[in-house]
Amino acid sequence: MKVLVVGSGGREHALAWKLARSPRVRTVFVAPGNGGTATEPGVRNVPLTDLHALADFARAEDIGLTVVGPEAPLAAGIVDLFQARGLRIFGPTRAAAQLESSKAFAKDFMQRHRIPTARHASFTDAAAAHAHVREHGAPIVVKADGLAAGKGVVVAMTADEAHAAIDDMLAANTLGVQHNAGGSRVVIEEFMAGEEASFIVASDGTHVVALATSQDHKRIFDGDRGPNTGGMGAYSPAPVVTPNVHARVMREIVDPTIAGMRAEGTPFTGFLYAGLMIDAQGRPRTVEFNARLGDPEAEVLLMRLESDLLDLLLAATEGRLDEVELRWDRRYALGVVMAAHGYPSSPRKGDAITGLPAPDAPPHDGHVFHAGTVRAEDGTLRASGGRVLCVTALGESARLARQRAYELLQPVEFEGAQWRRDIGHRAIEPR
Ligand code: AMP
Ligand code: GLY
């Protein structure tokens, strides 16, 4: 079978790499792909991003399955379009993807279905939003409603920060967030204390298969300081998700979400990612939903997945996920993101990258997934986006996986590269 992966990041490189290892897969096309998918064995890039052009390509090439990495094409309705044209695709429809694309939709949905999350209120009027902050005080969280690549959230430790965030998001819209119909809107939330984890499941609209647990590091600097990013590294499993927490997440969050979406006529088919906040008592609450795999969570999860990914995705598109049980490498996987100079505010493009291992070089306990890279005309590999590489490795413990990942990273160089030295610290240092 020929398969198509839509997207160009580290997550899509990991999806393509894993699918290329499936015995039933002949070729994996990645649209548009990156400098890593360009040279990955069994994988080919296709320079397409337009949704209709992708559907035409899938039809012409007789693609047996398309899987979508990022949120933007999902929110733009790629799944609806492919399905209308009789093409097999794994991902949520545009209506179901609102769990991610509209924070207000997600919060109202959670309220309707009693899914634990922070209390919230939505505002389009700045004066009313300011009054809400005066009434509730800090710490408090201000979020832009719409896709903001993880940057539309201010966790305000003081009321002044919250007021400034409201002015930025509602009045000036300095983030340039792509708002949903109805103009700019903010969601103001109760601050939740605890430890975060990423809980990702595959759903066929009715049944659910949980992937392994993971945790990412959202802040740019060591010690979880500095601005939020898309994720500077990840590891799996996440020790904070104990068997008891896992059972509660399934019962209190995942199952009611899948049942609720189905009951409302917008069944959720695809990867559902619940960003969790787990408090000191082990009570999980939902920070946010994403309608896709996480990045860099996908890189560490797919390193650990022993089962055939194609089998999982085909079963999911046929409503047969109740038949699937996944096998995982019992080792830890840990990935360190190398980001471009100036990331996250103004990443520099064009820096030449050296020191990478060949894509199929042994040993096989590590892999460098590419995110923002391109192969230039002269054959050199260059940075082309904020997150450039995700250097990922397996190890018997979180500590050993970390050691291996940093060993792999050591020879890799590009001007201005930024990476954290403490990925996995919560799984390694005693809590
Ligand atoms: P989001 O884009 O909604 O995932 O938010 C980005 C980050 O902001 C999360 O990963 C959390 O670290 C933090 N955050 C968001 N909402 C809350 C909340 N209600 N309480 C505490 N931290 C939050
Ligand atoms: N790593 C967080 C995300 O993919 O949203």
Distance CA 359, CA 38 (A): 10
Output the pLDDT for position 358: 78
DSSP 8-state symbol, 323: G
pLDDT at 405: 97
pLDDT value of position 103: 78
Does the beta carbon of 294 lie inside 6 Å of ligand 1?
no
Q: Which residues line ligand 2 (CB under 6 A)?
A: 150, 216, 230-231, 290, 294-295, 297
pLDDT band at 289 (very low <50, low <70, confident <90, very high): very high
How many A from CA of 377 to the centre of ligand 2? Answer: 31
Is a pLDDT exceeding 70 seen at residue 293?
A: yes
Which ligand has the minimum distance to the alpha carbon of residue 295? Answer: 2
pLDDT-wise least confident of 19-28, 183-192, 321-330: 183-192
Measured CA to CA in angstroms, residue 67 lies from 19, 30, 219 at distances of 10, 10, 28
Q: Are strands 2-7 and 63-68 parallel, antiparallel or unpaired?
A: parallel
Q: For 208, which DSSP code?
A: E
Q: How far apart are CA 81 and CA 84, in angstroms?
A: 5
Higher pLDDT, residue 89 or 365 = 89
The band of 221, judged by pLDDT with boundaries at 50, 70 and 90, is: very high
pLDDT of residue 210: 98
Mean pLDDT across the stretch 55-67?
A: 98
Residue 254: φ, ψ to 5°? -70, -55
pLDDT at 430: 61
- Checking if the pLDDT of 177 tops 60, the result is no
Q: Is the pLDDT of residue 173 over 50?
A: yes
| CA 297 to ligand 2: nearest atom | 1
Residue 151: the pLDDT is 56
Pairing of strands 366-370, 332-339: unpaired
- Give the mean model confidence (pLDDT) for residues 233-250: 98
- Global pTM reads 0.94
Q: Which of 219, 235, 297 to mutate to test the pocket of ligand 2 (most atoms within 8 A of CB)?
A: 297
| C-alpha dihedral sign at 221, 227, 231, 237 | positive
* Ligand 2 atom 3 nearest Cα: 294
- Averaged confidence pLDDT in the chain: 93
Give me the torsion for CA of 286, 291, 295, 301, rounded to 10°.
Answer: 80
Return the ligand number nearest the Cα of 147: 1
**Cβ atoms within 10 Å of 408's Cβ, excluding its own:** 21
CB contact at 8 A, 310 and 326 = no
Share of the chain above pLDDT 90, in %: 86
Contact predicate 239/175, CB 8 Å: no
CA distance 147 to 290: 10
- CA nearest ligand 2 atom 5, residue: 294
Q: How far apart are CA 24 and CA 28, in angstroms?
A: 11
